[in-house]
Structure 1
Amino acid sequence: MIAKHVAMRSQGKSDFAGLVNYITDKQSKEHRLGQVRLTNCEAQSVRDAISEVLATQFANTRAKSDKTYHLIVSFRPGEQVDAKTLADIEDRICEGLGFGEHQRISAVHNDTDNLHVHIAINKIHPKHNTIYEPYYSHRALAELCGAMEQDYGLQQDNHMPRRQGAEARAADMERHAGIESLIGWIKRECLDELKAAQSWSQLHQVMSANGLELKARSNGLVVVASNDVMVKASTLGRDFSKPKLEARFGPFEPGQTQQASPRRMYRKEPVRLRVNTTELYAKYKAEQATATANKTAALEAARQQKDRRIGHAKVKGKARRAAIKLTGSSKLTKKLLYAQASSALKADIDAIQKQYREERTAIYEANARRTWADWLKQKAQQGDTEALAALRAREAAQGLKGNTLRGEGQTKPGYTPVIDNITKKGTIIYRAGSSAVRDDGDRLQVSRESGQAAVQSALRMAMERYGNRITVNGSPEFKARVIRAAVDGQLPVTFADPGLEQRRQSLARGQSKTDAKARSRRAGVPPIGQCPPSIRRNQLQALSQLDALSFEQRASRAAIQPKPSEQEQRKARLRAQMDAKKAKRQKKGRSL
């Protein structure tokens, strides 16, 4: 587990509402957003909580620094943590940093290979209205993460950064963008040769042979590549700082211009992968150039159209003012009409400007430049198998761990699952009912919170992709769920583990017997295959010894007559009442 504070370099870009909108946005992905949690807020919804936090920040007028603290808690690949543990970890980290009483909104994200939690914290205290900034937060976070790994049984991670400064930023660029950095290229290609130099001339010669140049800059030294990309010399190692080099070789001596062509030189290209990506990268460069040209042309067309619309609006406003001038109205009436015409022109121009801004936003989104890794991800989502293979060949890509299913066989080319998302490591995330199943090309992973339907869906996917022989890895509980899913779904699978396969066969036989008994036990029909009692086996019996229903005397005919229905009884009562009334009238007439 790693906890990292994402610092905002520019205070003008600090926006609590924008941060919360980002971390709570599903981005059209079914399983990206997990649990959203509001802490120390009176509001019950995210929208109201944002307004409450912004009101608290507005109450502090003295603080000039960033008032929002963005914290990310990330777990090891394949590690699944339940919601209660995530909430406890969040509370302990915020308490340890001193934000226990501060307002915060957190959201769990499942759209990458690492389960992670974004926490947006208000640095303004809700009661005191004072700002709080943790002191050396990276040390406190490292200690907290180490302690919680022990307490919650999580996988241990390295909490202290191995790289710092420019070296760490270069490593992040290679991991996220997939493009080789100058620092990484030098360390992989010629660092040993640079260390072996014994004088300034030899050092400059090695630099020139690799397309590099060592120059003095301010009080230090920089290494400049042929494409004008430069890094501090001390970033390559403390032995390459200016004081250390001058202690070895004497005062700095500038290098002389070399006429010979270098043996190799740094190019801003993808990091070397296990697969050849030359054609893919050429296609990527061509598409980026096309997108840039299309964006320029579209922006120019939108600007010209905006100018034409504004011109038409001004002509229309001028005609309206001319018409007002020709009217024979009073001075006050004309003044009111001119004011209305000016307001109408201003409203038209504002509407045109708003439409132009929306068009520009749409153009930038449609022709946005993408990093190499993002472009591969986009192509993989569109069904490009070469791009997906390139993502999975990256050094950062690692196999899925935890509760996984693995089949033995070849992938069926006709099988295309419904993709919900693809990570930068080439892991496919697709829907399985209300849960998500991950596929790294070798095995399938089912999350801990997935139901039995998701496990059964993952089994079917593994069968369709790799064959009927399945290898199950994970906890004993997960293995038991897989066996039960295979038996309940009557799936024709075979487990590679003999113990699991024996258990599956035993449950399958028991299930078949149970189903047969359930089918045979009908109302009034005895079960098939039951043996008679011992006294009745292999013996002849008289009719009086059989289980039969006998009648002592003949039932009377009246007893077996059917009972009249309720409607017939009602008709009989009405007929009797009518007969009684008729008889009464006749009797009264005779008396008169």
Structure 2
Amino acid sequence: MIIKKIPNRKKSAGKAERITRLVDYVRNPEIHDDVDGAHSRTREKCTYAGVRNLESEDPDGQILEMIGLATASVRSKDPIAHYVFSWEAGIVPTPAQVDEAVDIFLRELGLEGHQAVFGLHQDTDNAHIHLAVNRIHPQTELAKDIRFEIDLRHRAIARIERAQGWKPEAHALYAWTADGSLVRRDGRDYVAASDTLRARHKKQQAEQRTRQRRELDALRAPTGAALNAARKELATQHRLERDALAVRQRREMDAYKASKAPVPERAPAPSRQVHETERATGTPSAERIAIDHAGPIIRAATSWQDLHEKLAAAGMRFERKGSGAILRIGQTAVKATVADRAASISKLEARFGASFEDADPALEINAPPAPAPLRLATKSLWDEYQAEVQARRDAWATVKNAAKGRRDAVHAEYKAAVAAIATQDWTGRGSERNQRRAQLASARAAELARIRADQQDAIARLRKEHPTYRRFADWKADRLQPNRHEPNRDRIQAQPGADRQTARRFDIRAFNAVADDGRVYYFRAPTGAAGLPATAAVFVDTGRRIDVIDSYGPGSLTAALQLAAQKFRGQVDLQGSREFREAAAREAVRLGLTVLNEDLQHIVIDEQRALAGRADPGGPDIR
């Protein structure tokens, strides 16, 4: 499970517009207003919605209630926070679990009494909750300032997973100990410090303010001048006391942080966005090349000249850029600190004992390194996708250039005809000359209209032959599993409520497995070059279910059920067309699986009787 905060990208929108658009989307994602106000359709739909701390029962009244409270706080420009809770594919929380997850989250962030609207969205691979919260408190009308919000969101995730029995993420920030305590894995639990030290510090400050106020009220002096002097002296004493308390509390907080285990320095790695691109395409990025090749060179360099020479031999160049430095790999520039945290100019100057020196302009730079693909099968799919994209670009460029060439020819012909008319003697025939010019202009307009119509027809054909660009992840999923968008596709899944199983490879002799993005695609052996299948997958292991694409192919149904037997502990729930479910039920009985579908039990009984008859041809032994 993950929880993300969605930033408000339309800063120019007012509070009323933001609340109206966001709440409408939370409740009705299938029909929502886009940027220009037109209605647009999406595949999402809201299957459950709820509110917190709103008195009105009418949806429009609830929006007006949130707008009224948000506009009451003039200093807060954007008091609405938008969060998304997302579960893994195949997991759909119940309405009670949705309510519980929202309540735990609001309680963890200190937003219990605040207005909130939430909705569970489905019809995508991952069920998710959209939550809109008004940070303005209904009683105080003050905006809630959430400290350590990222830590608090991770703590909320851990509490929700524990309360509802979900499996924690592999790299969860917080974990539960054996004694039931929630701790941060790296030991730097600043939220725990906020819960202990900060509470105690606030209590000390409140007690100090109360005592100082009583001392001022109890102050007595005989004359006005003496009273003012005494108050001034006491105020100075109080200020010194407050400063001393602040210093003491700061030292306590520093000591607490120092007592925690230090966080080990992370090894250089590409940024999250770059890593996602690498994972999707199977192609190494310039950042990874810098880390793998430039990092060791920078750490081993002994001088600026040594650094420049070794980087040039590896096909890279170190340059100053503003107040920082970059590594130029071919035509791509990467921040030098990506390769190594100690690659900043200031740290290198301190290490080399000399100011920055540019590389010799005559220094020859070799070709940049070309590392092997990260994943060969994905790289092959990426190349195929890029070929399709390039083919579409080339086709569109051909149509555009052909139309442009025809237009240029028409304009050139028109100019030549007008110039020819101008060279003739039209004395006394001015009206005839004007008619000739009008005829030429009309003919040019008609020809341009024909060119425009031909171009539109060619574009319409191109749109059919070359579909609009799609994200590579969607193109790859459609390439490997063509029927993935069909709601009633044939599939074998685990018993509802069973433990989640991860997608794994199994030794099915007639099929080859290709793992990609958390799924395992099974193809008939052999596959094409570099492990890339020549056809679509026969069935797909998604984790909690197995989608069967070719249920009538030789051995595909048997292999999918063999896989289900290993994953789902011998119990399967069959979904899809009637023909598939009946055939799969018979095959499941022959393989010794338990079919959970009640409407298929008559087929199960018939097949069990048939198997018993084949095992004992003489009939039952009645004694």
| TM-fit CA distance, 1:117 | 2.4
The answer to whether the 8 Å contact 1:374/1:424 transfers is no
1:466 equivalent to 2:559? Answer: no
| TM-fit CA distance, 1:474 | 8.8
Q: Which runs of structure 2 are paired with 1:148-297 in the superposition (5 Å)?
A: 148-157=160-169, 158-160=171-173, 167-172=271-276, 174=278, 181-227=285-331, 229-231=333-335, 233-251=336-354, 252-257=356-361, 260-264=364-368, 273-275=376-378, 276=380, 277-285=382-390, 287=392
Greater Cα offset, 183-192 or 474-483: 474-483
Cα deviation 1:475-515 (Å, max 9, x = unaligned): 979926459x99994745434996526999x9668844999
Gap change, CA 1:515 and 1:173, over 3 Å in 2: closer
Cα distance in 2, alignment partners of residues 262 and 194 from structure 1 = 17
Letter in 1 for 2:151: R
- Which residue number in structure 2 is paired with residue 4 of structure 1? 4
- Which residue number in structure 2 is paired with residue 442 of structure 1? 540
Cα distance in 2, alignment partners of residues 510 and 386 from structure 1 = 30
Gap change, CA 1:461 and 1:279, over 3 Å in 2: closer
Cα distance in 1, alignment partners of residues 60 and 312 from structure 2 = 59
Gap change, CA 1:296 and 1:249, over 3 Å in 2: farther
Gap change, CA 1:386 and 1:446, over 3 Å in 2: closer
- Which residue number in structure 2 is paired with residue 334 of structure 1? none
Q: Which runs of structure 2 are paired with 1:466-545 in the superposition (5 Å)?
A: 466-469=556-559, 470-471=561-562, 472=564, 479=571, 481-482=573-574, 489=582, 491=584, 493-495=586-588, 500=593, 511-512=605-606
| TM-fit CA distance, 1:122 | 1.8
Gap change, CA 1:86 and 1:156, over 3 Å in 2: same
Letter in 2 for 1:144: A
- Which residue number in structure 1 is paired with residue 76 of structure 2? 63
Cα distance in 2, alignment partners of residues 500 and 246 from structure 1 = 69
Gap change, CA 1:112 and 1:482, over 3 Å in 2: closer
The answer to whether the 8 Å contact 2:270/2:288 transfers is no
Letter in 2 for 1:264: P
- Which residue number in structure 1 is paired with residue 256 of structure 2? none
The answer to whether the 8 Å contact 1:376/1:387 transfers is no
**SS at the partner of 2:540?**
coil
Cα distance in 1, alignment partners of residues 64 and 399 from structure 2 = 40
The answer to whether the 8 Å contact 1:225/1:266 transfers is no
Could you tell me which of 116, 140, 147 is aligned with 2:152? 140
**SS at the partner of 1:264?**
coil
Gap change, CA 1:178 and 1:409, over 3 Å in 2: closer
Cα distance in 2, alignment partners of residues 477 and 402 from structure 1 = 10
Cα deviation 1:103-133 (Å, max 9, x = unaligned): 2222334455544322222222334332223
- Which residue number in structure 2 is paired with residue 566 of structure 1? none
Greater Cα offset, 495-504 or 32-41: 495-504
Cα deviation 1:419-456 (Å, max 9, x = unaligned): xxxx987899xxxxxxxxxx994336668xxxxxxx9x
Gap change, CA 1:32 and 1:503, over 3 Å in 2: closer
Gap change, CA 1:68 and 1:207, over 3 Å in 2: farther
Letter in 2 for 1:494: E
Letter in 2 for 1:148: I
**SS at the partner of 2:593?**
helix
- Which residue number in structure 2 is paired with residue 87 of structure 1? 99
Gap change, CA 1:7 and 1:237, over 3 Å in 2: farther
Cα distance in 2, alignment partners of residues 513 and 386 from structure 1 = 31
The answer to whether the 8 Å contact 1:444/1:462 transfers is no
| TM-fit CA distance, 1:214 | 2.1
Could you tell me which of 6, 15, 19 is aligned with 1:16? 19
The answer to whether the 8 Å contact 2:503/2:518 transfers is no
Cα distance in 1, alignment partners of residues 132 and 327 from structure 2 = 39
Q: Kindly name which structure, 1 or 2, has the bigger radius of gyration based on alpha carbons.
A: 1
The answer to whether the 8 Å contact 1:211/1:264 transfers is yes
| TM-fit CA distance, 1:88 | 0.8
Gap change, CA 1:173 and 1:133, over 3 Å in 2: farther
The answer to whether the 8 Å contact 1:402/1:474 transfers is no
| TM-fit CA distance, 1:10 | 6.7
- Which residue number in structure 1 is paired with residue 65 of structure 2? 52
Could you tell me which of 19, 29, 53 is aligned with 1:25? 29
Could you tell me which of 474, 477, 480 is aligned with 1:377? 474
| Unaligned ranges ≥5, structure 2 | 31-39, 174-185, 187-265, 404-462, 485-498, 522-536, 611-621
Greater Cα offset, 98-107 or 87-96: 98-107
| TM-fit CA distance, 1:61 | 2.2
Gap change, CA 1:512 and 1:371, over 3 Å in 2: closer
Cα distance in 1, alignment partners of residues 607 and 296 from structure 2 = 72
The answer to whether the 8 Å contact 1:221/1:242 transfers is yes
Cα distance in 2, alignment partners of residues 502 and 123 from structure 1 = 50
User: TM-score, length-normalised on structure 2?
Assistant: 0.51
Gap change, CA 1:75 and 1:219, over 3 Å in 2: same
| TM-fit CA distance, 1:249 | 1.9
Cα deviation 1:379-423 (Å, max 9, x = unaligned): 865xx559999xxxxxxxxxx963999996879xxxxxxxxxxx9
Gap change, CA 1:180 and 1:70, over 3 Å in 2: farther
Cα distance in 1, alignment partners of residues 318 and 151 from structure 2 = 36
Cα distance in 2, alignment partners of residues 170 and 490 from structure 1 = 46
Greater Cα offset, 8-17 or 134-143: 8-17
| TM-fit CA distance, 1:69 | 1.0
Gap change, CA 1:460 and 1:387, over 3 Å in 2: closer
Q: Which structure carries more relative contact order (alpha carbon 8 Å, separation 6+)? A: 1
Cα distance in 2, alignment partners of residues 387 and 211 from structure 1 = 42
- Which residue number in structure 2 is paired with residue 40 of structure 1? 53
The answer to whether the 8 Å contact 1:113/1:425 transfers is no
Cα distance in 2, alignment partners of residues 36 and 211 from structure 1 = 57
Cα deviation 1:252-283 (Å, max 9, x = unaligned): 2222235635322689x997552413343133
Cα distance in 2, alignment partners of residues 509 and 380 from structure 1 = 34
| TM-fit CA distance, 1:141 | 1.7
- Which residue number in structure 1 is paired with residue 117 of structure 2? 105
